[in-house]
Amino acid sequence: MLRVRERKPIESWLTDMDGVLVHEGEPVPGAPEFVNRLRSSGKPFLILTNNSIYTARDLQARLRRIGFDVPESAIWTSALATAEFLDTQRPGGTAYVIGEAGLTTAMHEVGYILTDTEPDYVVLGETRTYSFEAITTAIRLINDGARFICTNPDATGPSNEGALPACGAVAALISKATGIEPYFIGKPNPMMMRSALNSIDAHSETTAMIGDRMDTDVLCGLEAGLETILVLSGISTTADVERYPYRPSRIIPSVAHLINEV
C-alpha cells in the first residue's frame, strides 16, 4: 500500500508577489491582512518575484503605497538570487550586464565589476528598453567565451498596453545567434527557492510556497520540496491545473483564505 507522508506544520512562508498579493497594481483583497498576520506571527517569510528591474527597496516603497507594510529584507528578487549565485561561483568576478538598477545594484553589492572587456559572465535581466547595441555586444562577448546567465525565463511581461518581450524572449534571440543556452536563476529553477530558504534560515519540509502560476511557482516549490499552494487570483485557473503532470498541494481562491493558518 502506498503511504503518503503527512507534511509537518508550516513554520515559514514564501509567496509570489504579482497575482498573489498584487493584481494589476492593486492589492488582492485580503492580501495586506495576510502579510500583516505574517509579520505579527514572527514566522519567517519572503515575498518573491522573478522581476529583476527593481531593487528590494523600490519594491518595498511600491508595496507601501498600496497598503502593504513589509521590511526591505522580506523581499527576494531574481536579481538578488543571481548576484548571490555568481558570488558563490566566482567571487569578485566581472560581468557585462543588461538590466536595470535592481540587477546592477545587486551585482555591485556582492563585489562584481561591471565591464564589457573580457567579462567572466554576460548577465541578462529585465529592462523596458532592450538595446540592439547591448544585445549585439552580449552576443559577441559570449562568442568570445563569456558565460551566459539569465535572471529569469519569463518570455513576456505585463504592461498597461499589453504583453512586453521579457528576459526569456531576449535570451532566445541571443541563444539563436550564439548557439549557447543561458543558465536561468529565477523560478522555476529551484535555485531561486533554495536561496530564498537560506536567506531566512528556513527548511523545505516546514515551508509553504504560495503562487499563481503552475509553470513557475508551483513547479519551483515542488522541486524544492515545499508545500505548494496555488491561488486563483492570478494567472492559472482550476482548468489549467489538469493540463500539468504535477499538482499543487492545494488550490484556494486567494491568500485571504490563509490568514487563519498563520
Residue length of the chain: 262
Place of cell 522555476: 188
Q: Is 116 a catalytic residue?
A: no
**217/9 Cα distance (integer angstroms):** 20
Three-state DSSP string of 3-48: CCCCCCCCCEEEEECECCCEECCEECCCHHHHHHHHHHHCCCEEEE
**Residue 28 grid cell:** 488582492
SS3 229: strand
**Residue 153 grid cell:** 525565463
- Find out whether 227 and 12 touch, Cβ atoms under 8 Å: no
Task: Work out the widest C-alpha separation in the chain, in whole angstroms.
Answer: 61
**83/87 Cα distance (integer angstroms):** 6
**Residue 104 grid cell:** 546592477
Start-to-end C-alpha separation, the chain: 33
- Find out whether 114 and 96 touch, Cβ atoms under 8 Å: yes
**19/22 Cα distance (integer angstroms):** 6
- How many angstroms from the chain centroid is the CA of residue 107? 16
Active-site hit among 18, 120, 212, 217? 18
Q: Is 201 a catalytic residue?
A: no
Catalytic residue numbers read 16, 18
